[in-house]
Amino acid sequence: MNQIHIVTDSTAYIDKEFVRQHDMSVVPLYYSFEGKTEKEGFPGEFQDFFSRLARSSDFPTTSQPSVGDFKEVFESALKKGKEVIALTISSKLSGTYNSANTAANLIGSDKISIIDSQTTVANLRVLTEMAINLVKQGFSRSQIVEKIEEQKTRMGIRLTVGTLEYLKRGGRLTNAQAVIGSFLNVKPIIALIDGKLEAIAKVRGKKKAMEKIIEDIPKKVSIINICQIFALKEAHELKSILKERYPHAIINIQEIGPVIGSHLGPEALGVCYVY
């Protein structure tokens, strides 16, 4: 019986069936949209949200889980005699890590480890799956934390968008920048740098953006997760290209949900890679 309980948050976008099979916990972030606040769900449940987002003039706001959300999960695991490892979205993107840390401090147990993953989406998923596998292999909590802390430094994210509209709505572009950028068909390359999403380049057209993204993937890549929002056809085309370019890498296609995806919008596409 595994004596370590793995916890992550909803921005890892882990399938509900995987969560059930591995007896782990996912603590959801929240989003408020069109007058209603909801918990972020699981892959396969996002289509309605993005369909509404594409039609709506409203823009979602997002919020971290409460301290109580984490406290409940941690206490439940401890009551079963388990230790806890929680991996959260980067602390520079959300206060989720702080909520988890505060919950652990309130409980006061020395059997809880909180990891600031410094990443999100599919890379957070990879770290979570890695933690689960290490538990099954019999590693101790401290050993697992050490291995995760090491691995998180060997990951990257590159994304681009279908339209600049959602970057404008989220305050990342001014109205003038969005208008000029749209007229010139400018596509930003968004990367995760030191735990924070930043635009690192601008190119003309989505095709060139994807070429630039592919160039940025390290030669020794081991896992590539193609992340997409309503861009499944493009994701499969990208997968074919990547399989030829990186034949030894594990390549999958993953969804991005409302909390991260609302800032990117429908037709966002990119890669999360591990090396």
pLDDT of residue 177: 67
Question: With contact defined as beta carbons under 8 Å apart, do 75 and 111 qualify?
Answer: no
Q: How confident is the model at residue 74 (pLDDT cuts 50, 70, 90)?
A: very high
Give the position of tokens 């992340």: 227
Mean pLDDT within 194-208: 90
Q: Specify the pLDDT at position 166.
A: 74
Average pLDDT of every residue of the chain: 93
Region of poorest pLDDT, from 94-108, 181-195, 213-227: 181-195
Average of pLDDT values for 104-116? 97
pLDDT of residue 185: 75
Upper half-sphere CA count for residue 79 (Cβ side, 13 Å): 6
Strands 61-63 and 30-33 turn out to be: antiparallel
- The tens digit of pLDDT for each residue in 238-250 reads 999 999 999 999 9
With 90 as the cut, is the pLDDT of residue 37 above it? Answer: yes
Whole-number Å distance between alpha carbons of 107 and 9: 19
In this predicted model, what pLDDT tens digit does every residue of 166-186 receive, in sequence order?
776 666 666 666 556 665 677
The better pLDDT of the pair 166, 28 is held by 28
